Chains A and B, each alone.
Chain A
Amino acid sequence: MSIQPLLIAAAALFSIGIYGILVRRNAVMVLLSIELILNSVNINFVAFNAMLSDVFLNGQIFSIFIITIAAAEVGIGLAIVLMLFRNRETANINEFDLMKW
């Protein structure tokens, strides 16, 4: 089994996530797209771990750390979105333009 289809699929998933971040208007949907990007990075790590047949399993350990940090990021991100919604009555990121020049 070649590694190339895995890498192409991970790159495609990454660009799908970028597209989602740029297009979506709801802040929760933007966080969902970030999850897609983190997932593509995980696929890359595990695929390279299997390609190198690493005895220290560095790729798998890094992907476990990434999953953990992603869980923390979702918790903080949703708390921020909740806070914004409470103050501005909307989750539409086009309206959060206070710091836009």
Chain B
Amino acid sequence: MEAVDIFSYFLLLLLLLSGVKVVTTSNVIHAAIFLVFTLATTAVLFILLSAEFVALVLILVYIGAVIVLFLFGVMITRAPLGPNAELDNDQNKLLAAVISLSIFGIFTYILLQTFDSTVVISEGTSTKLLGEILLSRFVFPFELVSFVLLGALIGGITLARKDNALMDEDQI
């Protein structure tokens, strides 16, 4: 067993532990912090799999922007910040565990039956190649995604704005 294998097993274990904590902790802020742990571990895993640019995008977009949005959402909706026993549906827990475990079983069975090869960890960086492909072969989806982001921005502002139906013209 190589050092890379041991390191990746350690990372995957950390990933799963923090992922479990995200859905089981009874404190809203702790769940967001554990999501940060999960995403940071994923970014390290991506660097290990020679996908540096994706790792940096993950850190910038998720840890930089999405988590801040989540913390804003938690605080605006006035969820209790301390430990909160009301956060979970207790009568759903057994059913949810059965469903998620059966999904995990089916996925694991199919994936282990189908894929049995090794991951090739390439030397050097692929970021230059990634940029060239993104702006040549994938340039149409790339531009389309910018329109999606613009639509999401306008939609978010329109939804979150206060009493937009009642606004008079002289109030603007």
Q: Are the C-beta atoms of A13 and B19 separated by less than 8 Å?
A: yes
Interface of B is mostly: helix
Chain B residue nearest to A82 in the complex (CB):
B160
Which residues does A use to contact B, with CB under 8 Å?
Answer: 1-9, 11-20, 22-29, 31-33, 35-36, 39, 42-43, 46-47, 49-51, 53, 56-57, 60-61, 63-65, 67-76, 78-83, 85-86, 91-92, 94
Which residue from A11, A39, A78 sits with its C-beta under 8 Å from B73?
A78
Q: How far is the CB of B162 from chain A (nearest CB, A)?
A: 8
B81 proximal to A (CB < 8 A) = no
Please provide the chain B residues from 107 to 145 with a CB less than 8 Å away from any CB of chain A in the complex: 107-108, 111-112, 115-122, 126, 129-130, 133-134, 137-138, 141, 145
Q: Are the C-beta atoms of B70 and A32 separated by less than 8 Å?
A: yes
Which residue from A7, A28, A86 sits with its C-beta under 8 Å from B115?
A7
Which residues does B use to contact A, with CB under 8 Å?
Answer: 2, 4-5, 8-9, 12, 15-16, 19-20, 22-23, 28, 31-32, 35, 38-39, 42, 45-46, 49-51, 53-54, 57-58, 61-62, 65-66, 69-70, 72-74, 76-79, 86-89, 92-93, 95-97, 99-101, 103-104, 107-108, 111-112, 115-122, 126, 129-130, 133-134, 137-138, 141, 145, 148-149, 151-153, 155-157, 159-160, 162
With A20-B22, A23-B93, A39-B38 known as contacts, the answer to whether A12 contacts B104 (CB < 8 A) is yes
Q: Are the C-beta atoms of B89 and A29 separated by less than 8 Å?
A: no
